[in-house]
A and B are shown apart, each in its own frame.
Chain A
């Protein structure tokens, strides 16, 4: 059997012909295996969805309980059989519940890693490398200029600014699933104990994280009456990036706009987005982590998807590793 007979890109997403299932399909299918809860990977409307308990819960929170015809839970470490194909689930370190899916038949194993990162994250299980013949890797930050600094330094930048500008509210743009909770958890680790204010769109997911035992400390909704805007002087407010360009942000005194994202590494992006305090915090691997992961797993072939495929493929060529771009459409950088 060739690798492509076990797993291949199709317009609906990665498809496993012998198993009869798709991984992270971008259109409704009969049977979907979903790596994690970000909207471009986890879409509603499939007849049957298999994912980790957290991913299923998150899909339920985002799309309503009837997001799929039927659901089936899979735990990290669990090994299942689907039409003679062995499927196993492994932590990806991306967001709560994120999994890599290993697909195996006739002695060939392919790992679809979804989105992943290697550094420690207090809000989710760490990535586990899985030996395989083909490793499918994302390349969101697949350029050698992307090297994320230490999280703690970035959080320290934010806390220093809060101290320097006590009359301002610091608005931290962060995506609602994963990034927001991670920013909050990192602030707590840095010793910030005050109430953190959150945008309404994050409430349910923050509640859910807390219910899964991830301590985010005191949170309060960022709603106020007009006359008490000064209450937010010195506050940290976390909200989706889109909200800060919106009228919503006007309630805050002298806001300093911050944005937690791997894209903040590039100054031109920072300026384009009107960000004053960039926080380079990513839920994806940086270049060094991508290349180290490939070396560590040492697959016979690397398939590169969503992001800057060409640079990572070039790196593989320079290192005598077989690699090709997958060119699957439909994945965005939602989680960044």
Chain B
């Protein structure tokens, strides 16, 4: 448990993606089976074990520790699992030799009945050191939030075994913790495991970003264009009566969309965009991105929510039809097959992403910035002859996002960064004006920590240090008045209504696009401007 606990502590505090990968790869290399498999599953929250209520943990600790001392400690520490892990009085000096293994805990929990839970947990709390206790409590209370996505984990596995990540994605769904056949293959001790699962995931084809300069090198007639929708890219597969919805990295997200799943009465595999949509005369009316957010990150979906925000699929591509693998065919042919295929599906749940006709690049460039629907984030350009291949090959597919929205905002707070930025104020909260014109005040509308160059970072950092009003730990508030302050041009992809933010709006993907040293803060935008952009 010690190496696992140590890994968790380091992952949580390490901001850099590369450093996280290094920590994971080193852990995988140093840890035996089946512990490493269980550890991976625990981190990506794919480990299905008996969960324990915080109240039970509190009851256990109250038998061992004075209530008053516990409450002083809990007040100071602020987290129940952490307080218990630190305060738990071990019967004797912590025994480092006989380290309890993660696999022993996981397997005992699998075998245990619910009533055995408290006794087991108590024994383990006695046997582990405080980091181990913390890891255990996070594991069994479902509070494991490590900042490692399933995608990052797959990358770590690929790095460890020197494989391409799409190979891991392809296999992933057919595997279960502790992933013994996967590790045997990664260690070079066995053949690549065959994905025997019904309705398997097919590694997704991705596009490269592009611009007009690059496109000028290609013939427009070789390409077809379609809208790029701002939902979740998914693969929906129905084979031999098994229905699955996969994310683009091969995670099974079927349970979150039972309404779409139930409508998958076909035999094949579709690539498309999952959106919220309402069936209407003549097609599906697309819901907003905020509507879609109501359906994201949910384990269970109440019927009411399903009715209010129905999940639909806007199809891009057809990968499999019956027993036939269509991926080697040219896109143009797959597209024809797709159109016929979608025609047979329930119209309330499935439709096509329409093609956008064009003659030359300038024409499509103009269309790109005048999309017919606010949920369009740009265009996809696909070579007519392109086969469907895994990964992100250069040339066959391009994505060309529409220009971002821009707003001039005023810097209000700056927070120190992490890692190589720990000596810089690099995370900026910015606001726009609201209230009466003769006595305006700033309301924060977002936070951004990239988009600027290293040189600009130094300039903003100097500005923050020279104009600090107050300091709160790692955060400084800076002078932000109508005639004194720094105006930031912020680019973003869209706005959502938000009840959590004072301004009532939340920006999607905000970043700093320009520093407006020349602009007086009084001339920055007002909240009304942003509100008018809400749909």
A256 neighbours in B (Cβ, 8 Å): 419
Stretch at the interface among B45-53, B82-90, B164-172, B305-313: B82-90
Contacts of B72 in A (CB 8 A): 143, 308, 310-311, 314
Taking CB atoms, residues of chain B closer than 8 Å to A246 are: 423
The answer to whether B73 touches A144, judged by C-beta atoms less than 8 angstroms apart, is: yes
CA distance A277 to B69 in the complex (A): 29
* Contact between chains at B87 and A145 (CB < 8 Å): yes
Report chain A residues within 8 Å CB of B76. Answer: 143, 145, 266, 308
Distance (Å) between the CB of A203 and the closest chain B CB? 21
The answer to whether B419 touches A143 (Cβ under 8 A) is no
CB of B359 closer than 8 Å to a CB of A: no
B73 close to A143 (CB less than 8 A): yes
Is the CB–CB distance between B73 and A268 below 8 Å? Answer: no
Question: Judging by beta carbons under 8 Å apart, are B66 and A318 in contact?
Answer: yes
Residues of A within 8 A of B473 (CB): 272-273
- The answer, yes or no, to whether A231 is at the interface (CB within 8 Å) is no
| A314 and B82 form a contact (CB under 8 A) | no
Interface-located stretch among A26-34, A50-58, A247-255, A327-335: A247-255
Q: Is the CB of A255 within 8 A of B69?
A: no
B531 within 8 A of A: no
Contact among A149, A164, A255, A271 for B419, CB-based, below 8 A: A255
Which residues does chain B contribute within 8 Å of A276, judged by CB atoms?
13-15, 418-419
A165/B22 contact (C-beta < 8 A), A147-B130, A274-B474, A311-B72 known: yes
Q: Does B196 interact with chain A (Cβ within 8 Å)?
A: no
CA distance A314 to B71 in the complex (A): 12
Q: Is A265 an interface residue, CB under 8 A from the partner?
A: yes
**B contact patch SS:** helix
A311 touches B73 (CB 8 A): yes
B180 to chain A, nearest CB (A): 26
Cross-interface CB contact of A248 among B73, B130, B419, B423, cutoff 8 Å? B423
Given contacts A145-B73, A254-B420, contact A267 B79 (CB under 8 A): yes
- The verdict on B323 contacting chain A, using a C-beta distance below 8 Å, is no
Report B165 CB to chain A, min CB distance, Å.
22
Do B474 and A273 touch across chains, with their CB atoms under 8 A apart? Answer: yes
CB neighbours of B130 from chain A (8 A): 147, 149
Return chain A residues, CB-CB under 8 Å to B15. 276
Q: In the complex, what distance in Å separates the CA atom of A157 from the CA atom of B65?
A: 30
**A277 and B79: CB pair below 8 A?**
no
Q: Indicate if the CB atoms of B86 and A147 lie closer than 8 Å.
A: yes
Min CB distance, A160 to chain B, in Å?
A: 9
CA of A250 to CA of B19, assembled, Å: 19
Any B CB within 8 A of the CB of A245: yes
Contacting residue for B19 out of A147, A165, A245, A314, CB 8 A: A165
Is B77's beta carbon under 8 Å from chain A?
yes
* CA of A53 to CA of B129, assembled, Å: 41
A257 touches B422 (CB 8 A): yes
Residue on A with the closest CB to B473?
Answer: A272
* CB of B457, distance to nearest CB on chain A (Å): 10
| Number of B residues, CB within 8 Å of A | 39
Interface residues of A in 105-152 (CB under 8 A from B): 143-147, 149
For the complex, what is the distance from the CA of A310 to the CA of B71, rounded to whole Å?
Answer: 12
CB distance A244 to B422 under 8 Å?
yes
B 277-320 to A, binary, CB cutoff 8 A, 1 in contact else 0: 00000000000000000000000000000000000000000000
In the complex, are the beta carbons of A314 and B66 less than 8 A apart? Answer: yes
Taking a contact as CB atoms under 8 Å apart, the answer to whether B22 and A250 are in contact is no
Pairwise interchain contact A277-B419, C-beta atoms closer than 8 A: no
B68 touches A314 (CB 8 A): yes
User: In the complex, which of the residues B15, B19, B129 has the most CB atoms of chain A within 10 Å of its own CB atom?
Assistant: B19
Whether A267 contacts B82 by the Cβ 8 Å rule is yes
* Residue from the list B13, B77, B423 in contact with A244, Cβ < 8 A: B423
Provide the bound-state CA to CA distance between A2 and B15, in Å. 58
**Min C-beta distance of A137 to chain B, whole Å:** 16
- B372 CB within 8 Å of chain A: no
Bound Cα distance from A270 to B131, whole angstroms: 14
Contact B419 A145 (CB under 8 A): no
Cβ-defined partner of B69 (8 Å) among A149, A265, A267, A314: A314
Bitwise, A276-294 to B at CB < 8 A (1) or not (0) is 1110000000000000000
Given A248-B423, A255-B422, A274:B69 Cβ within 8 A:
no
Closest A-B pairs by Cβ, 4 of them: A145-B86, A249-B423, A145-B73, A311-B72
Binding site for B on A (CB under 8 A): 143-147, 149, 157, 161, 164-165, 244-250, 254-257, 265-268, 270-278, 308, 310-311, 314-315, 318
Chain B contact residues, CB within 8 Å of chain A: 6, 9-10, 12-15, 19, 22-23, 26, 65-66, 68-70, 72-73, 76-79, 82-83, 86-87, 89, 129-130, 416-420, 422-424, 473-474
18 contacts between A and B (CB under 8 A): A143-B72, A144-B70, A149-B130, A164-B23, A244-B422, A245-B416, A245-B422, A250-B424, A255-B422, A257-B418, A267-B12, A274-B474, A276-B419, A278-B9, A278-B13, A308-B72, A310-B72, A315-B69
Known: A143-B69, A267-B79. 17 other contacts (CB 8 A): A145-B73, A145-B77, A164-B26, A246-B423, A249-B423, A250-B423, A265-B86, A266-B82, A266-B86, A271-B13, A272-B473, A274-B418, A276-B15, A278-B13, A308-B76, A311-B72, A314-B72
